[in-house]
Structures are given as structure tokens and as C-alpha cells.
Amino acid sequence: MTASAPAAHLAQLNVATLLHPFDDPRMTPFVEMLDPVNSAADGAPGFVWRLVEEGAADATGLRPAGENVIVNLSVWETQEALWDFTYRSGHLEVVRRRREWFERHVEAHLVLWWVRAGHLPTVGEALERLADLRAHGPSPRAFTFASAYTAAEAAPHLAAMRPAQPGQTTRSVRPAPAAGSAAVQVASTGAGGQARF
Amino acid sequence: MKDIDSIALLQDPVRRRLYEYVAAQGREVGRNEAAEAAGVARTLAAHHLDKLTEAGLLECASRRLTGRSGPGAGRPAKVYTRARVERSVSLPARDYRTAAELLAEAAEQAGLDAGLCAAAHRRGEALRGSAAPCGSLEEAMRVLAARGYEPHLEGAESADGVQAAEDSEGTAAGAPPVVRMRNCPFHAVAERFPPLVCGMNLALLEGLLGTDGPVRARMDARPGECCVVVENSKNNDD
């Protein structure tokens, strides 16, 4: 069945609970790193798309998981590409200093899952994956770097998700060119919250 | 082949020189170049390079070194790089890696980054002893080499200039020199807990080199290398 697995991209959601309000001077070093790090993400090998608030420079103003919780949602061609950006780019300096800015999470704060190439995950879908990981542990539906599954392993779940969420797959139904160029445009309009902790 | 058997192959002095030369280049090395560096004939070098490859210490690939292809381009040449896999032997058997992974996992869950970095900084200072902060990039290279970081100078005119230029295609000409490191001594745990262990590594190097001297350590991670670079302090004073 997995022999004809569709082209897949890796989606990631990260949530981070702020220790201080975003405009607090103690947050300034983090805020100042957002633009350069997000620019680096846009140019990173394997980058596909990231969430940006409409009319804003990044996604840090969106607070779908709580008033003091910033979210970061992006899509990458491979897990290696995401890992290299997260931990082998200027982004590492952001995560190194995470304790200065963010609460330590007892529950999982990062979730990865495979999507069909061209599908741009919604925040709701992303939060569902995080809830899945927290409730059931790592699975092909929702996993972490340390407990990763391949796209082939997740292929049955890719297929299963489709009819279950018709509203969310409208963009993925349109194949690569349209969805792809839309993603690039969104990404190029400005920086987004690319930090993962 | 067991680790102890692979490592035992290095007892042969020619093999050892070939291995160390290939490992130090951080790029693919051809048979002729390796033979010249080891001071032996090409056929002997080829024999030993293939032994090292069979033992899993080197990896081998085929390249057309001339850049030509098609008829007349000649046979592809064999090129060698150091194998990525780790080899170790401990007698009696010790397992510090499992201990390190468990301690790192617990430290990560408990959010002990600050305490770990403080300990690493103190250790770095203790290793430096009573010496003044590191005085130059050249001195930093020696200190780092002694600790297994495999440092190389990038973006500078030096004896290593040609190599540096090859390595730094993304670096503009005239960029300030910077010491990069090919090897992460904490690789296995750094891969599993990057923010925690890379932060520890930076703090260790800050203690080792000093934070108020002529050179400074800074985080500048790249794929496949140590996450820290060392540069002249004056380049980035702001």
C-alpha cells in the first residue's frame, strides 16, 4: 500500500509559553532575533512554508493556544532539513537561550507530522496533532525528532486524514504549482515566528 | 568488524598516517594526494586506504577528479573521507555514553540549562588554570585541537589559505578570520539534546578561552560542524 505513497512534507508545530509579556525589555533579545532567524528560515534548504499572521511581520501575534503562548507552524521537505535549520543555523542560539524567555513545558511542546506535499496545515489541525501526541504518545500521526516516523510509515494516516477533514484539504487538492507559489508568497511577505524550543 | 579490530589496524604507521591525513582534511582525498602526504608509493597507499575502508574507518567514493565526462575522461578515481561512525574501546568496559544520555535527558526534563552551563564554564576555567585568556586565534587553534575539536581557520590568508577559501564559499572575501571546528566532542548527546548540550559546549569554551580576552567564542551553528566559532573580539564589539 505504501509503495504508491504520495509526496509528503513534514509539518511542525511548536508552542512556547512566554515568561514575560512580549513588549517586556527582558524579551527584547528574543524579539530582535525574530527577523534575522525568520529570514534564514525562508532561505534554508528544504523550507516550504510557515505561518504568518495576515498583515504582520510574523506569527507571534497569533495566540491560538493561550494569551501568553506563541505558536510556530511550518512545513519542510524533509525531517533533515527541519533539523538542520532548527539546530544547525542561527536558530540554535534562540533555543539555547529558551529558559530566559519561555516556561519549561512539562508536556510536549513540539509536534511533527507528515502532510501531503502542497497541503498547508491550519492552526486547528496543528493543535490537534499536539493534543494527539500529548494524549497518546508518539505515533505516525504525531511524533517528535527523537521518536520520528517516516513518510512511508505515516502514509496510511495521510490518506485517512483526507476525508475526515475536507475543509482543510482544499488547498492540498490543488497540486504543487498553485499551492507552492502561494506558500512562497506568504513566506516572502515577512518574517514569522520560526522559533522552536 | 568489532571496534577493537578496526582500531587495531591503525597500529601500522603508514595506515595511521593515511588515516590521520584524510581525517584532517575534512573533504574527499584522492589516492595520489594521500600517498604524497604519507610519503609512500601510490600502490601502497591504495592498498592501505582500501584496508581502512574495509575496516569502516574510511568511506570510499568514485569521482572524476578532472571534471570531464564521457569518452576520454578516464576512469573515475577513488576518493576517501573519514567514516562518520564512532569507534571506541574501553578496557575494562565502561559506558559513559549511556550515563551522559541519561543525565542529559534528566537535565532537559528538569530545565537545568543554567546550572549545566555554569558547571561547564567553571570546568573550562579550571582546564585553563592560571593562564590568561586565550591571546590569539592561533593559540585558540592549539587549545581546541588538544581537546579534539579539529579546528580550522576560515576566511583568512594563511598557510591554510587555499583550504580555507575552498571551505568558505559563502564567506565574502575579506571577511574577518574565524576558527571553525569540524568535530563535536559531544556529538552523540548534542544530537539528542541540541540546545542543552550545545549551550554546555559554548559555556565550556567560554571558560576555556576566556570571555574578556582578545578572542571570544560565539554560537554559529552549521550542518556537520561544531556549533561554536572563535573570532577576534574586536571584530564584533558593539
pLDDT tens digits for B88-107? 999 999 999 999 999 999 99
Say whether B79 sits in a helix, a strand or coil.
Answer: strand
Cross-chain residue pair A92–B224, CB shorter than 8 Å: no
Q: Under a CB-based contact definition with an 8 Å cutoff, are residues A127 and A65 in contact?
A: yes
Cross-chain residue pair A84–B199, CB shorter than 8 Å: no
Gap between the Cα atoms of B19 and B53, Å rounded: 10
Average pLDDT, chain B: 89
If phi over 0 gives left and psi between -120 and 50 gives alpha, with beta otherwise, what is residue A6? beta
pLDDT in tens, B102-135: 999 999 999 999 999 999 999 999 999 989 999 9
Catalogue the E-assigned strands of A51-148. Answer: 69-76, 110-116
| A193 pLDDT higher than 50 | no
ω into A175 cis (within 30 of 0): no
Of the residues B187, B196, B229, the best mutation for testing chain A's interface (the one with the most A CB atoms within 10 Å of its CB) is: B196
* Per-residue pLDDT, A191: 34
Q: Which residues of B touch A90 (CB under 8 A)?
A: 220-221
Cross-chain residue pair A96–B222, CB shorter than 8 Å: no
Interface of A with B (CB under 8 A): 84, 86-90, 92-93, 95-96, 98-99, 104, 146, 197
- Mean pLDDT lowest among A162-166, B56-60, B137-141: A162-166
Of the residues A93, A95, A196, the best mutation for testing chain B's interface (the one with the most B CB atoms within 10 Å of its CB) is: A93
| Helices of type H across B9-129 | 13-25, 31-38, 42-54, 96-110, 113-128
| A23 pLDDT higher than 80 | yes
Cross-chain residue pair B219–A92, CB shorter than 8 Å: yes
Angle at A189 between CA A188 and CA A195, to 5 degrees: 75
Cross-chain residue pair A92–B202, CB shorter than 8 Å: no
Dihedral of alpha carbons B101, B223, A91, B149, sign: positive
* Per-residue pLDDT, B69: 65
Q: Where residue B155 falls among pLDDT bands split at 50, 70, 90?
A: confident
Cross-chain residue pair B194–A93, CB shorter than 8 Å: no
Gap between the Cα atoms of B27 and B22, Å rounded: 8
pLDDT in tens, B176-210: 899 999 999 999 999 999 999 999 999 999 999 99
Q: List, in order, residues 6 or more apart from B107 with CB less than 8 Å away.
A: B113, B115, B116, B193, B196
Domain architecture of chain B: domains with CATH? 3-82 (1.10.10.10), 96-236 (no CATH)
The grid coordinates listed for B49 are: 586506504
The grid coordinates listed for A3 are: 509503495
* Per-residue pLDDT, B67: 64
**Model-level pTM?**
0.81
What are the extents of the domains in chain A? 2-188
What residues form DSSP beta bridges with A85?
A: none
* DSSP letter assigned to residue A60: T
Considering only CA atoms, give the Rg of chain A: 16
Cross-chain residue pair B222–A89, CB shorter than 8 Å: yes
Segment (H or E) for B178: strand B178-181
Q: Where residue A55 falls among pLDDT bands split at 50, 70, 90?
A: confident
CB atoms within 10 A of CB A188: 9
CA distance A121 to chain B (A): 26
* Per-residue pLDDT, A197: 47
Q: Where residue B174 falls among pLDDT bands split at 50, 70, 90?
A: low
* Per-residue pLDDT, B238: 46
Of residues A88, A89, A99, nearest to B114 (C-beta): A99
Gap between the Cα atoms of B214 and B39, Å rounded: 39
Strand A8-17 and strand A110-116: pairing?
antiparallel
Classify domain A2-188 at the CATH topology level.
Alpha-Beta Plaits (3.30.70)
Q: Under a CB-based contact definition with an 8 Å cutoff, are residues A95 and B195 in contact?
A: yes
Quote the ipTM score.
0.81
* Per-residue pLDDT, B90: 93
Q: Where residue B232 falls among pLDDT bands split at 50, 70, 90?
A: very high
If phi over 0 gives left and psi between -120 and 50 gives alpha, with beta otherwise, what is residue A113? beta
Largest Cα–Cα separation, chain B:
64
